Homo-oligomer: A and B are copies of this chain.
Amino acid sequence: MGASKTDHFTKNQNAIATLAKAIAHPARIAILEYLLKVDSCICGDIVNELPLAQATVSQHLKELKNAGLIKGNIEGNAICYCIDENAVKKLQTYFVALFTKLEIKNSNCC
């Protein structure tokens, strides 16, 4: 047992959940915010910014990349990570839709 039964839910429900999971860690939020703060897309010094070991940061970057939120380009002997705007728009679409639904309903109970 354990492990979520993704096949019992809709594609949309799984998609939102997966995207939410990708940003469900402060380190990954910090990475996204850092990529925004620095004006151009910055390479490896993400590691220096975070209070985590290089291996751990690399893992978080991988998860963000898997979720499609960031992309990495090889640039010299470093890798340039930056936010993937199209993917972020998709993320936004899901959430805005959810929020809209949440707002429409004026609680007539509780």
Contact = CB atoms under 8 A, between A and B. Distances in A.
Interface of A: 4-6, 8-10, 13-14, 16-18, 20-21, 23-30, 32-33, 36, 39-41, 51-52, 71, 73, 80, 82-83, 85, 88, 91-92, 95-96, 98-99, 101-110
B16 A29 contact: yes
A6 B24 contact: no
B51 A5 contact: yes
A17 B9 contact: no
Given A17-B29, A32-B98, A71-B110, 18 more contacts: A5-B52, A6-B26, A8-B26, A9-B30, A10-B26, A13-B26, A13-B29, A16-B23, A16-B26, A17-B23, A17-B28, A18-B24, A21-B21, A40-B109, A82-B107, A83-B105, A85-B103, A95-B99
A33 B20 contact: no
